[in-house]
Structure 1
């Protein structure tokens, strides 16, 4: 499944409480880079093969 890179971030919420209600909420995001590394090149196996 395709996952855009902008979704691959680590979100951390920090809430400041005033009494028992939320006064301020700060979300910090740290990008985790690409989810997976790009696939490696596969050797071209087309054509005739000779026994060795």
Structure 2
């Protein structure tokens, strides 16, 4: 099995803010970061629920 990728808080926040601002789609962001679409979708969902404290 492959190793899991870990992304820092700043990268996740930047990705989510670009998506919410309409600068990028979730699919494009996932492709750029080489992760599955659902990973990015979960980041956005978590951010919408928890705001600034979404990513420890």
TM-score range, shorter chain: under 0.3
Considering fraction of residues, name the structure with more helix: 2
Normalising by structure 2, we get a TM-score of 0.18
Considering fraction of residues, name the structure with more strand: 1
**Structure with greater Cα Rg:** 1
